[in-house]
């Protein structure tokens, strides 16, 4: 996709049908500090920088998870969006109990509380609670997502472009639209190419969820190897400009961190 765009002088989002948006709302993914007050303080600092949504990476047990989410809701106010990624730490029955308590905190979605293979458990959860259930980061094909949609195992689809690629991402999005599901692409430790590709799909996707996961600890590392950085300001990710994915790598910096022959990295 990148090479084709560069050959034609077109950005990838145009090859995918055209951009519906050039600035993409971002949510902060994770508050990687110890202690409840430290988490609250970090969340407030992101709010001061223009972000209006945060996803917590928790799963410490129901009581602790609820304690953290309650403190954040109190500190950030009712208009700030909160999501929760439980990292496969609960059973279906436990997740139902947790989700019902999260509903009172107006949590936007509950991500991956069960093992990713437990589609029947996810279907039970999604049917039992009002809070949307998000699923799909570990899956690679639209056939896998068809199973998820057929079993009504999620409310929000979360394919990861680092696993499925641009072509399959858009197939998944088209399939999700048929089932009436929005797509919120997962974006974790992927570097610059992965981030840029995700943003181009976000821009072209008709049923985009409306917020893109943003990893503050990963973005500076990714940008270190680019001639022009991928920009996130005031809570928005900016679509990289230019043909293809709109990014160019600093090859000298890549060489500096590599060993001839690719046998090791320093």
- Which residues have a catalytic role annotated? 186
The angle at the Cα of 63, spanning 60 to 66, to the nearest 5 degrees, equals 90
To 10 degrees, what angle do helices 36-48 and 62-76 make? 40
E strand or H helix at 124, and its extent? helix 119-128
Among 56, 217, 167, 95, CA closest to 159: 167
Strands 236-238 and 133-135 turn out to be: unpaired
For residues 64 and 89, the answer to whether their CB atoms sit within 8 Å is no
Reading the block at residue 111, the tokens are 């991500």
CA distances (Å), 156 to each of 16, 135, 183, 192, 228, in order?
22, 7, 6, 25, 32
Q: Within 10 A of 234 (CB to CB), how many other CB atoms are there?
A: 10
């Amino acid at each position: 996709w990148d090479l084709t765009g560069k050959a034609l002088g077109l950005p990838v989002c145009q090859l995918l049908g055209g951009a519906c948006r050039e600035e993409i709302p971002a949510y902060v993914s994770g508050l990687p500090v110890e202690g409840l007050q430290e988490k609250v303080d970090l969340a407030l600092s992101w709010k001061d920088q223009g972000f209006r949504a945060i996803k917590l990476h928790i799963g410490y047990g129901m009581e602790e998870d609820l304690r953290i989410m309650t403190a954040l809701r109190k500190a950030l106010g009712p208009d700030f969006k909160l999501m929760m990624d439980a990292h496969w730490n609960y059973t279906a029955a436990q997740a139902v109990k947790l989700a019902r308590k999260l509903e009172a905190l107006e949590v936007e979605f509950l991500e991956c509380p069960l093992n990713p293979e437990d589609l029947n458990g996810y279907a039970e959860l999604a049917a039992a609670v009002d809070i949307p259930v998000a699923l799909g980061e570990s899956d690679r094909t639209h056939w896998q997502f068809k199973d998820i949609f057929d079993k009504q195992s999620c409310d929000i689809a979360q394919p990861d472009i680092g696993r499925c690629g641009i072509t399959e991402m858009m197939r998944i999005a088209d399939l999700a639209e048929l089932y009436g599901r929005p797509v919120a692409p997962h974006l974790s430790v992927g570097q610059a190419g992965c981030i840029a590709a995700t943003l181009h799909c976000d821009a072209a996707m008709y049923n985009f969820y409306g917020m893109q996961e943003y990893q503050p600890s990963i973005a500076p590392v990714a940008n270190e190897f680019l001639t022009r950085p991928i920009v996130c300001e005031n809570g928005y990710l900016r679509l990289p400009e230019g043909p293809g994915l709109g990014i160019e790598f600093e090859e000298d910096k890549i060489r500096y961190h590599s060993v001839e022959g690719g046998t090791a990295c320093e």
